[in-house]
Chain A
Amino acid sequence: MPPRMQSRSVSNTLLPYLTATSSSSLSSIPSLSSSSSQCLSRQFSATAAPQAQTKLRRQMFEWLNTEGAVFKHHVPGETNYLTRLKQRGPETSSDASRPFPNNSSFISEPILSEELRNEVYHRVVEQKMSLRAVSVHLGIDMKRIAAVVRLVELEKRQRAQGKPLALPYARAIHEMVPTTPLAQQGERQEYHEPINDLPAHPLTGSQIFYPVPESRSFTRVEAGRVFSGAPAMEHSEAAEISHPSDLAEKIIEDPNSIAWVGKGANARQILQPADVRIPHPHMVALERDRLAHPNERLAVSEKQSKRLKRQDAIEKERRERLQARREKKLTVVSPEDSRFDYRIKDTIYTPETTGADGRGSKAVGRRYGVPHRDRTRGEIKIPTRVEA
Chain B
Amino acid sequence: MVLRIRLARFGNKHNPFFNIVVAQARSARGAKPLEVIGTYNPIPKRPTNLYDENTETRPYKEIALDRSRAKYWLGVGAQPSDPVWKLMSMAGLVAPKPTTFHKA
Q: A332-B60, A342-B61, A342-B90 are in contact. Are A388 and B66 (CB under 8 A)?
A: no
Partner among A154, A157, A339, A344 whose Cβ is within 8 Å of the Cβ of B63: A344
What range describes how many residues of A lie at the interface? Answer: 20 to 34
9-residue interface stretch from A241-249, A275-283, A297-305, A364-372: A364-372
For the complex formed, measure the closest distance between the CB of A185 and the CB atoms of chain B, giving whole angstroms. 32
Interface residue? B50 (CB, 8 A): yes
Closest to B69 in A: A349
Within 8 A of A (CB), among B34-63: 35-39, 44, 48-50, 52, 55, 57-63
Interface residue? A341 (CB, 8 A): yes
Is the CB–CB distance between A346 and B58 below 8 Å? no
Is the CB–CB distance between B32 and A369 below 8 Å? yes
- The interface on chain B, measured as residues whose beta carbon lies within 8 A of the other chain's beta carbons, has a size of 35
Among B11, B39, B64, max chain A CB count under 10 A is at B64
Closest to B31 in A: A368
Is the CB–CB distance between B10 and A366 below 8 Å? yes
Interface residue? B74 (CB, 8 A): no
One digit per residue, 1 when the CB lies within 8 angstroms of any chain B CB and 0 when it does not, for chain A 344-388 equals 111111000010001000011110110000000000000000001
Interface residue? A335 (CB, 8 A): yes
- Cα distance A337–B99 when bound, in Å? 11
In the complex, what residues of A have CB within 8 A of residue B35's CB?
349
Interface residue? A333 (CB, 8 A): yes
In the complex, what residues of A have CB within 8 A of residue B39's CB?
347, 364-366
Q: A349-B36, A364-B36 are in contact. Are A340 and B65 (CB under 8 A)?
A: no
In the complex, what residues of B have CB within 8 A of residue A347's CB?
37-39, 64-66
- Cα distance A341–B39 when bound, in Å? 16
- Cα distance A151–B74 when bound, in Å? 48
Is the CB–CB distance between A363 and B50 below 8 Å? no
Interface residue? A334 (CB, 8 A): yes
Interface residue? B17 (CB, 8 A): yes
- Cα distance A348–B17 when bound, in Å? 19
For the complex formed, measure the closest distance between the CB of B22 and the CB atoms of chain A, giving whole angstroms. 10
Partner among B37, B63, B69, B99 whose Cβ is within 8 Å of the Cβ of A342: B63
Q: A342-B90, A349-B35, A364-B66 are in contact. Are A157 and B20 (CB under 8 A)?
A: no
Is the CB–CB distance between A345 and B61 below 8 Å? no
Interface residue? A216 (CB, 8 A): no
Among A154, A342, A345, max chain B CB count under 10 A is at A342
Closest to B34 in A: A358
Q: A347-B64, A364-B39, A365-B20 are in contact. Are A341 and B57 (CB under 8 A)?
A: yes
In the complex, what residues of B have CB within 8 A of residue A331's CB?
91
Is the CB–CB distance between A344 and B48 below 8 Å? no
Is the CB–CB distance between A334 and B32 below 8 Å? no
Interface residue? B29 (CB, 8 A): no
In the complex, what residues of A have CB within 8 A of residue B38's CB?
347, 364-365
For the complex formed, measure the closest distance between the CB of A124 and the CB atoms of chain B, giving whole angstroms. 15
Partner among B32, B52, B62 whose Cβ is within 8 Å of the Cβ of A157: B52
- Cα distance A349–B71 when bound, in Å? 12
Is the CB–CB distance between A344 and B90 below 8 Å? yes
- Cα distance A348–B67 when bound, in Å? 8
Q: A341-B58, A341-B61 are in contact. Are A346 and B36 (CB under 8 A)?
A: no
Partner among A153, A335, A346, A349 whose Cβ is within 8 Å of the Cβ of B90: A335
Among B38, B59, B99, max chain A CB count under 10 A is at B38
- Cα distance A368–B59 when bound, in Å? 30
Within 8 A of B (CB), among A163-222: none
For the complex formed, measure the closest distance between the CB of B30 and the CB atoms of chain A, giving whole angstroms. 9
Partner among A345, A358, A365 whose Cβ is within 8 Å of the Cβ of B62: A345
Is the CB–CB distance between A343 and B37 below 8 Å? no
In the complex, what residues of A have CB within 8 A of residue B52's CB?
153, 157
Closest to A386 in B: B48
Q: A157-B49, A333-B90, A346-B67 are in contact. Are A340 and B36 (CB under 8 A)?
A: no
In the complex, what residues of B have CB within 8 A of residue A339's CB?
58-59
Binding site for A on B (CB under 8 A): 10-11, 17, 19-21, 32-33, 35-39, 44, 48-50, 52, 55, 57-67, 69, 87, 90-91, 99
In order of increasing CB-CB distance, the 3 nearest A-B pairs are: A341-B60, A365-B19, A366-B10
A-B contact pairs, 5 of them (CB 8 A): A157-B55, A341-B61, A346-B67, A363-B36, A366-B10
